[in-house]
Amino acid sequence: MSHLQLTSSLSWEMTLSKILRPAMPATLADYVTLAAIVGVTAWWLYENHLKASDPYHHLWFECPQQQGENNRPETRRVTNIAEYMDMVNKNIVIFWGSQSGTSEAFAHRLARELHSRYGQETLAADPSDFDATTISLLGKSRLAIFIISTYGEGEPTDNVMGLWNWVQNAASSSVQGLRYAAFGLGNSNYKNYNRAVDCLVEQLSRLGAEAVSPLEKGDDATNTTEEDFMVWKENLFKSLVRKVGLEERENTYEPVLLVQEDESLTDLHLGQPEEVTDSLRSVHNNSPVRILKVIETQKLFDSSDRQCHHLELDISKNPELIYKTGDHLGIWPSNPDSEVKRLLKMLGLEERRNNPIRITSIDLVTKVPVPTPTTIEAILRYYLEICGLVPRDILPSLATFAPTNSAKAYISNLGEDKEAYSSFMNGRYMNIGRLLEFVCPSGTWSSLPLSYLLDILPRMQPRYYSISSSSSVSPRRLSITVAVAGLPVQTENEVISGVTTNYLLCLSNSRGSGSSSKPLSYQLGGPSNMLGGDKIYAHIRRSKFKLPALGSSPLIMVAAGTGLAPFRGFLKERSKLMSIGRPVGSMILFFGCRNEEEYIYHKELQEMQSILGQKLVVVTAFSRSPGQPREYVQDCIVEHGNEVVQFLDQDARFYICGRASMALEARRVLVNLLVQKKGMSEAESDEWCKSLKRGNKWQEDVWG
């Protein structure tokens, strides 16, 4: 605090003390004066301290529709969906519920195809932008389509909460006459597979809405979500032709975005991530995106086809970042150099890669998906997901830009023939750049506009990792555990790995703790070298995966692979409690991996066992140990069934972290245990497990 500030503060306090010196106000005027002083003081504290400490304070005073440089306030202030569709002349609305961007991408693809094939004026809409109750005003003349992902354990995504709450509580027949269709995205390894869309459809039916096409679901567990979506989409089109009278026309590409090069543009967005502020709920759950320094990297193992790394990051220079044990770290990657270079070459844009461009919306309702103004390279390196597989349904439109007739015919056939596409993709990893190169290796796709890529490619999304440190032990230093596995490709002598895992592997290699194999190269310095010196863009996401408030509560922990990460933080926290003489409950950890070589944090677990003594039992399962039968964590739960039931009888908390398939098996064997050991029926056992979840005594952090 400066001398001037200190003097001013002391002067204010002295003045206040003189005013308040009388023991009690005696007259009405005294009461008014005192109230005014209190009010002014509260305002001063709010403006100078509370308000300034909240980086998202402005969001409380903005409509979500008004955020973003290219949105148009004159139309987006409207939260009545029926009124809004009248204003922008749309007759079909596609509501998407998305946590990772897949449903949103599907909604935009469907909207584009309904317009290009059938001439329909279609709006892809975030339901959080509108008052859900106004859906009842859409009437028979419009169609509502819902593409809804199920998140976590059967929960709706953040942006669907308003719609979810309304449809659960709306009066009967409140959407009488509404015509709708729905598609769900989920994973059948989860117990509540596609529960969000099931509940939505059930409630819409209760409220009097009419389905124009049967509900269908995509299953990520079988890697068929794309094809499931396409099958549903074609069935939907047939239903709309039959029931609504749509007529197919020649499929032509009509851009909705205008990309203009302009050398005079300044203040360019060169790769800095956009804040995660889609809704007030996401603002509450996500910290601001910040630059964090990686201060330690360690290779945990490096086998023939996979490896695992431990990274520690310093958050001491970011006092606004606060994490709790069990939270997630969202990392914002970039695309690898080879894929950026490949796509620039195939588009004929190498010479213009750094040209400033401005992107504007031609259509009233289309949001510009990336920050603008920017450069061509920044879009391809930082803002678009260029490494994802090319879906079959975009191939017909992509074929119209082919540089040769043979390339056009080849791509058209892949788009029209499911078997040909499946055969072509088998053993190949064809992202957009690789596909263009494969079909026309010696030419360029110079007629393919950048606006088309902005239209068909998803925005870059953060990838989330469980924090493996304890906020009680190291509050200003957090760690994550990253597994890197590759997908072999037949056509080239290389392995394709995840965008973010390879990005972090490249960073580890640059620090001398990476793999002996050469990973893909990345621009580790980031935009304008802002990430030089081992830094990354990241933010903290709050998680419900938490230790109980009482350290004396018993714990059952089930993990496989990097699912051990949050339990490392849990055990570090319990070890600290033990070391300072606080009561600690008994714990049993079931951990599975392939073999001893991949037993991550083995030495640390032994050290924590020496601190915790009999309070911690670690049971391991190795699925590929040489000369030994395969064993998985669910097998160990059965073997130690008596101890597990005893723990549960002692009001233990039950945690699972790892792949969804493992979690499904762990749930199954636990239900069977309760049937066998406690004499419950299967229905009673299942209900008992549900009651644990309702009481927050059963928690899962699972993926895939």
Over residues 260-275, the pLDDT tens digits come to 999 999 999 999 997 6
Measure the CA–CA gap between 229 and 194, rounded to whole angstroms. Answer: 14
Q: Would you state the pLDDT for residue 16?
A: 36
Pair of tokens at residue 664: 């499904």
- The pLDDT-based confidence of 550 (bands split at 50, 70, 90) is very high
Question: Which pLDDT score, from 0 to 100, does residue 277 have?
Answer: 54
Token digits of residue 248: 């197919």
**Which of 117-131, 181-195, 606-620 is the most confident on average?**
606-620
Q: Give 256 or 60, the one with higher predicted confidence.
A: 256
pLDDT at 39: 60
Q: Supply φ then ψ for residue 590, to 5 degrees.
A: -100, 120
- pLDDT of 98 reads 85
How long a stretch of residues is the chain?
A: 704
Q: Classify burial at 354, counting beta carbons within 10 Å of its beta carbon; exposed 0-12, middle 13-18, buried 19 or more.
A: exposed
Q: Which two tokens stand for residue 322?
A: 């606060």
- Among 122-126, 526-530, 637-641, 690-694, which stretch is predicted with the lowest mean pLDDT? 690-694
Q: Closest by alpha carbon to 294, among 510, 499, 95, 443?
A: 510
**Quick one: pLDDT band at residue 704, thresholds 50, 70, 90?**
confident
Determine contact, residues 167/205, Cβ cutoff 8 Å: no
Query: Would you state the structure tokens that stand for residue 250, as one six-digit string?
Result: 């020649």
pLDDT of residue 446: 93
Confidence of residue 20 (pLDDT cuts 50, 70, 90): very low
Structure token pair of residue 552: 């004396």
pLDDT at 511: 86
Locate 561 and state its tokens: 């692979």
Q: Output the six-digit token pair for 104.
A: 């949103």
Give the residue-averaged pLDDT of 85-93.
93
The rounded radius of gyration (Å) of the Cα atoms in the chain is 28
Question: Which token pair is 679?
Answer: 């004499």
Q: Tell me which residue has tokens 């009278």.
A: 245
Distance of alpha carbon 343 from alpha carbon 421, whole angstroms: 21
Lowest mean pLDDT among 10-19, 243-252, 419-428, 688-697: 10-19
Smallest CA-to-CA distance from 16 within 28, 6, 4, 8 is with 8
The DSSP symbol for 384 reads: B
Fold of 555-703: Rossmann fold (3.40.50)
What's residue 560's pLDDT? 96
Averaged pLDDT score across all residues of the chain: 86
Buried b (16+ CB within 10 A) or exposed e, 126-160: bbbbbebbbbbebeeebbbbbbbbbbbbbbbbbbb
Same CATH topology for 75-243 and 555-703: the answer is yes
Residues 488-521: tens digit of each pLDDT: 554 455 556 688 999 999 999 888 776 656 667 8
Q: Where are the alpha helices (DSSP H) in 427-584?
A: 432-439, 450-456, 499-510, 565-579
Instruction: Return the beta strands (E) in 173-226 as ranges.
Output: 179-186, 210-211, 216-219
Smallest CA-to-CA distance from 599 within 325, 294, 296, 303 is with 303
Instruction: Give the mean pLDDT of 298-315.
Output: 92
Q: 102-118 and 225-243 are packed helices; what angle lies between their axes, rounded to 10 degrees? A: 40
Q: Tell me, what's the pLDDT at 285? A: 85
Dihedral of CA atoms 13, 15, 19, 20 in degrees, nearest 10, equals 10
CATH of domain 75-243: 3.40.50.360
Instruction: Give domain limits for the chain.
Output: 3-53, 75-243, 257-281+337-456, 285-336+462-541, 555-703
Q: What architecture does CATH give domain 257-281+337-456?
A: Up-down Bundle (1.20)
Going across the sheet that includes 374-375, the strands are 257-261, 356-361, 374-375
Residue 312 pLDDT exceeds 70: yes
d(CA 232, CA 421): 18
Query: Per-residue pLDDT tens for 335-378?
Result: 999 999 999 999 999 999 999 999 999 987 888 999 999 999 99
* Euclidean distance between CA atoms 206 and 199, whole angstroms: 11
Residue 677: is its pLDDT beyond 70? yes
Q: How far apart are CA 73 and CA 65, in angstroms?
A: 8
Q: What is the mean pLDDT of residues 303-312?
A: 90
pLDDT(62) > 50: no
* Contact status, residue 536 vs residue 332, Cβ threshold 8 Å: yes
3-state secondary structure at position 484: strand
| Pairing assessment for the beta strands 477-488 and 495-497 based on DSSP bridges | antiparallel
Query: What does the alpha-carbon distance between residue 253 and residue 109 come to, in Å, rounded to a whole number?
Result: 12
- The alpha-helical segments, DSSP class H, found in 531-639 are 565-579, 602-612, 633-639
The CATH code of the domain at 285-336+462-541 is: 2.40.30.10
Q: Is residue 581 left, alpha or beta, with left meaning phi > 0 and alpha meaning psi from -120 to 50? A: left
Q: pLDDT tens-digit profile of 118-153?
A: 999 999 999 988 999 999 899 888 999 999 998 767
Please give the Cα distance from 158 to 575 (Å, whole number): 35
Confidence at residue 230, expressed as pLDDT on a 0 to 100 scale: 92
- pLDDT for res 443: 86
Most confident of 161-175, 177-191, 552-566: 552-566
Look at residue 302 and tell me whether its pLDDT is greater than 50.
yes
Give the pLDDT mean for 284-290.
90
User: CA 394: distance to chain centroid?
Assistant: 24
Q: What is the DSSP string of 59-128?
A: GGGS-GGG-STT--HHHHT---HHHHHHHHT-SEEEEEE-SSSHHHHHHHHHHHHHHHHH---EEEE-GG
**Lowest model confidence (mean pLDDT) among 167-176, 501-510, 526-535:** 167-176
* Token pair in block for residue 416: 């029209």
